Amino acid sequence: MSAGAAPDTVPRVRWNRDALSSWCHPDTLLVSSPSARRAARDANLNVGDCRVVDARDLADVADQAVARVIVLGAGTVIDAATLTAHTRGVPLLVVPTVLSTDAAFSPVAAGRQGDTVIYHDTGTAEEVLLDMDLLLRVDWGLHLHGLGDVLAVESAATDWCARHPGQQRALVAAARSLVDTAAAHAHLWRTPSAEGLELLAELLITKVQLGMLAGHPGFEEGTEHYLAYYLEPMLTGRVWHGDLLTACLLLCSRLQQWTADRIDTIGELLSHLPGRDARRPQVLMPAEEIRRRLPEFGVYCQRHALENTLLLHQQPDPQVYDTAATAWERGW
């Protein structure tokens, strides 16, 4: 865990870039990417005299002394920097350039290992700086990938209920309320706004908090994330995590046999968003390939000890798999 981080609380969120002044020193390591640094320059975000390194080159500074870490970026950049700060035992400040995942607020760092993803318990960052000028300069559609991470709790909560029948019902209801809140504010996702970013951040933070209250980060992810891990190596080209999650939710809606109103809630929300591949999963992988791969998914979960999925305990019959593949072909 990075120094000072508490295992059961989310980081302190700052909205004023003045918070940077106490972090930017020559003995601070700034982990970022070229695109993140360009975004910071365009927003006139000054990172002072920090020692700068690309996330992919962290091994080059492994033997250099560091007093604190700032990460400027999103997704995998945040995960890499979080693990570095944890390993060195130094404080961490996260400055997201895109709210495409909950990585900025999470107590774990993700990394792909072979054909799956593993999580390292790192504790949360000390602080997260959400700089509105920086975030609003990014393509709005990139932020909307974060909705996929929020909507994922619909499937994860279904799995959690199957694993813990009659337990933590208040947490499960709270998780599903995140989906309802996102749907009730669909107008905020159509165009860039500070209000939309604030709500998205609140939803992502609350999702992480619910996992902490449940006592396990697995509360936040289930069949939908596992399907994403399973399918991602088979896809051609880069696919944003949020888009793949939203596509996998469509499979989950049939595999987990959601009620029509829950399917409609997410479908209606997605219909208000700008054109998204997540609404047309067929562009990610042909339905026939999905139909062929789905029956092997349970074995994949067993092999990697991915436990928060009801498919480990109640394998669908072939007709359910076929229905899921058909839904994938038709889209949300």
Domain boundaries, the chain: 12-136, 140-330
pLDDT at 276 over 80: no
Domain 140-330 - what CATH class? Answer: mainly alpha
Residues 6+ away with beta carbon under 8 Å from 91: 2, 3, 4, 5, 68, 69, 85, 125, 126
pLDDT at 303 over 60: yes
pLDDT for 324:
97
Q: If you average pLDDT over every residue of the chain, what do you get?
A: 92
Q: Which CATH class is domain 12-136?
A: alpha beta
Helix (H, G, I), strand (E, B) or coil at 302: helix
* Domains 12-136 and 140-330 in one fold: no
Distance CA 67, CA 91 (A): 8
- Token pair listed for 99: 């709210």
Rounded-to-integer distance, Cα 69 and Cα 223, Å: 34
The tokens 């945040």 sit on which residue?
A: 78
- Nearest of 14, 15, 53, 9 to residue 34 by alpha carbon: 53
Q: With bands split at pLDDT 50, 70 and 90, how would you rate the model's confidence at 165?
A: confident
Q: Where are the beta strands (DSSP E) in the chain?
A: 12-14, 28-32, 51-54, 68-73, 92-96, 108-113, 116-121, 127-129
pLDDT above 90 (res 2): no
The pLDDT value recorded for residue 67 is 97
262, containing H or E segment:
helix 260-271
pTM across the whole model = 0.93
